[in-house]
Amino acid sequence: MLDVIKLLPDSVANQIAAGEVIQRPASAVKELMENALDAGATQIDLVVKDAGKTMIMVVDNGCGMSETDARLCFERHATSKISKAEDLFAIRTMGFRGEALASIAAVAQVELKTRRREDEVGVKVVNEGSIVKEQTLVPMQPGTTFTVKNLFFNVPARRNFLKSPQAEMRHIVEEFTRVTLMNPEIGFTLTSDGKEVYHLYPGNLKQRIVGLFGSAYDERLLHVHQEADRVSIDGYIVKAEYARKTRGEQYFFVNKRFIKHAYLHHAIENAYLEMIPKDSFPGYFLNIEVDPADIDINIHPTKTEVNFLDVKLVYAILHAAVRKAIGQHNLSPMIDFDESSELNNDFSAAMGITSPLAIPNIPLDPNFNPFSSKEKTPHESHWEGTYQPQRNAPSGDWRLLYGERTDQPAQSSETHEESKSNSRYLQVNQSYIVTTVKSGLLVVDQHLAHMRVLFEKYLKELENHSGLSQQELFPQALTLNANDASLLKEMMPELENLGFVLEQANPTTFMINGTPSDAAGCDAVALLEKILDNGKINRTDLQLDRKLSLAKTMAVQLSTKPLTKLDEMEMQNLVDQLFACNVAEVAPNGKKTYVIISVDELEGRF
């Protein structure tokens, strides 16, 4: 009987490894950029075409490689970072296992050009599917250029599973963000299909965050810094009032390496407890420095998961550091006005007042009685008539009857009481509309009802391209990070169908020149940010699902809220519009829009 166990050829073994390490173009971007960091580069440029499917190029000015190393780097487990097992627990570099380049070369056509500073010329190596096709000497500047073409050209099944160019580009931008965040002293650029998306100059961490996520973050950040014996934490958190509906801006790093860690994330969420809504998430950009011997990062092919020797200690220090930053931000200086003569003197001098400030003397009449019947009060003088409640037999409503006014004073809640008419509609708690029907009482939730009405209206506008616009008197600028800008650009046709008029000023800034006609008075920037947040949560390539998600978001944001006073006509119109809907019974979130309390139920109460 023949032996059945065989050693796999290197080309097949490399493709299997590539399935773990290189899952999409963004995976190759991550590995190549991390190699450039390990090479000591001070400037790294990333260029992609067709969201990395056609080409990925990473250019750095790092140390470069010798001719022998340039050939050897494509071999599996060929690495300069470790030589014995113990080295795994003293890792300070980004890459160390020697799998990345071999995995990329197994599923793409790779061209490497590299030169050390001490060498007169560089070397060029062309590798296709783990096979070296060419090796020559070339003139070039010191550094390294990796060009990856036709990713998965020899694994068509894997290529077919790639998402749309927009989705793959978002993954690339995310990997670019993770690499650049904790290396603010290095310059980076990202160019996609000939257009520069990012140009990040060397600086500090706060400048890097602003460069990646927009100038609005300049005032949203709180510095976090804490040092302990074996752990130190540094970075920024986002103020509680700017919490988002998505987990977008949440970045953990250990020794400047991006990680995912649900337990440590809970430490931050717990620090924000009762400060942000339950459906919102805090933003953070935090680096945890620990002794490499206290962590194990060799537990996942992409090295985004780590084990801590004492994770509870890290949790406690992290939680305390975030609470401290939040507390320092919320503290405000207190002024003791009983002992603030120096403040008064400084104020007087600044205003040119020579005499001391004194409490004003206001004459009061202690005998004045506003409820006295002998003398008309200023409030009474506005009205010539009587207040008389009457019972209206047919409707069972109460009415307040006023006489004619002799003048037109400013009305206030103290001087003007609401009259109840023969209305068929009654508003309860400024949240529910009540009216009679044949079978009993109809109770409508005004918020959920209006949400249903608007949802169907926006769906119709998206289908018919019929949304009306109102021009903005002063166009507003909306500045986003590259991922959000890409998503907004993707959603622009649908937004324009609803009545938005948007103009892209540059890759990450949009001018809001018009808004939907029924969005009058709303904050257009906040509305679009909310649409983007929900767009990320419900991201899909199916056009119908995208329309449903967009219509729902618009309806939720612009619908009449609870505790909003409605007049007779508004209540009647809302009820009429609700029962003209295709699905009047439920709101887009699945909750009932109305209930009917039957006569039998009412009788059972008495």
Q: What pLDDT digit, counting tens, does each position of 538-580 carry?
A: 666 566 677 888 999 999 999 999 999 999 999 999 999 999 9
- Give the model's confidence band at 510: pLDDT under 50 very low, under 70 low, under 90 confident, else very high: very high
Total residue count of the chain as it appears in this document: 606
Rg (CA), the chain: 34
My answer on whether 101 and 126 are in the same domain is: yes
Closest to 161 in 3D by CA, of 172, 173, 151: 151
> What is the predicted pLDDT for the residue at 90?
53
Residue 342 domain-assigned? no
Beta bridge partners of 124: 113, 136
My answer on whether 167 and 213 are in the same domain is: no
**Using CA atoms, how far apart are residues 327 and 349, in angstroms rounded to an integer?**
35
Residue 368 has pLDDT above 50, yes or no: yes
> What is the predicted pLDDT for the residue at 279?
76
* Enclosing domain of residue 553: 444-578
* 204-209 CB contacts, 8 Å cutoff, 24+ apart: 205/181, 205/234, 205/235, 205/236, 205/285, 206/236, 208/180, 208/181, 208/184, 209/181, 209/236, 209/285
**Using CA atoms, how far apart are residues 431 and 33, in angstroms rounded to an integer?**
55
Residue 365 domain-assigned? no
What's the CATH number where 527 sits? 3.30.1370.100
**In this structure, are strands 284-290 and 250-254 parallel, antiparallel, or unpaired?**
parallel
Residue 501 has pLDDT above 50, yes or no: yes
Residues 173 and 149: beta-carbon distance below 8 Å: no
**In this structure, are strands 295-296 and 257-259 parallel, antiparallel, or unpaired?**
unpaired
The one-letter code for the residue type at 433 is: I
My answer on whether 458 and 546 are in the same domain is: yes
DSSP 91-121: --SS--SS-HHHHHHHSSEEEEEEE-TT-SS
Domain-terminating residue out of 285, 309, 330: 330
Average pLDDT over the chain reads: 81
Helix (H, G, I), strand (E, B) or coil at 237: strand
My answer on whether 188 and 113 are in the same domain is: yes
* pLDDT per position as a tens digit, 276-302: 887 788 999 999 999 888 887 765 556
Instruction: Of 82-86, 229-233, 445-449, give the range with the top mean pLDDT.
Output: 445-449
Residue for token pair 């190029």: 57
**Using CA atoms, how far apart are residues 397 and 81, in angstroms rounded to an integer?**
86
Answer with the residue of higher pLDDT: 412 or 257: 257
- Give the model's confidence band at 495: pLDDT under 50 very low, under 70 low, under 90 confident, else very high: very high
My answer on whether 186 and 229 are in the same domain is: no
My answer on whether 192 and 251 are in the same domain is: no
My answer on whether 63 and 173 are in the same domain is: yes
Residue for token pair 């500047």: 141
Longest dimension (CA), the chain: 122
Helix (H, G, I), strand (E, B) or coil at 47: strand
What's the CATH number where 217 sits? 3.30.230.10
Model-level pTM? Answer: 0.68
* pLDDT per position as a tens digit, 520-544: 778 898 899 889 888 877 666 566 6
**Backbone dihedral angles phi then psi of residue 145, each to the nearest 5 degrees:** -125, 120
**In this structure, are strands 432-437 and 469-479 parallel, antiparallel, or unpaired?**
unpaired
- Give the model's confidence band at 519: pLDDT under 50 very low, under 70 low, under 90 confident, else very high: confident
Write out the two tokens for 116: 């050390």
The answer for residues whose C-beta is within 8 angstroms of residue 355's C-beta and 6 or more apart is none
My answer on whether 261 and 234 are in the same domain is: yes
Residue for token pair 């006489």: 403
Total domain count for the chain? Answer: 3
My answer on whether 48 and 178 are in the same domain is: yes
Write out the two tokens for 205: 């961490």
My answer on whether 44 and 191 are in the same domain is: yes
Residue 389 domain-assigned? no
Domain-terminating residue out of 196, 223, 250: 196
> What is the predicted pLDDT for the residue at 367?
66
Residues 169 and 453: beta-carbon distance below 8 Å: no
The DSSP element (H or E) to which 241 belongs, if any, is: none
* pLDDT per position as a tens digit, 125-165: 999 988 889 999 999 999 999 999 999 988 888 888 898 89
Write out the two tokens for 598: 């039957």
My answer on whether 186 and 222 are in the same domain is: no
Average pLDDT over residues 312-338: 75
My answer on whether 184 and 75 are in the same domain is: yes
Residue 257 has pLDDT above 70, yes or no: yes
Domain-terminating residue out of 161, 196, 231: 196
From start to end of 467-519, where are the E strands? 469-479, 501-506, 509-516
The answer for residues whose C-beta is within 8 angstroms of residue 347's C-beta and 6 or more apart is 357
Q: What is the 8-class DSSP label of residue 519?
A: G
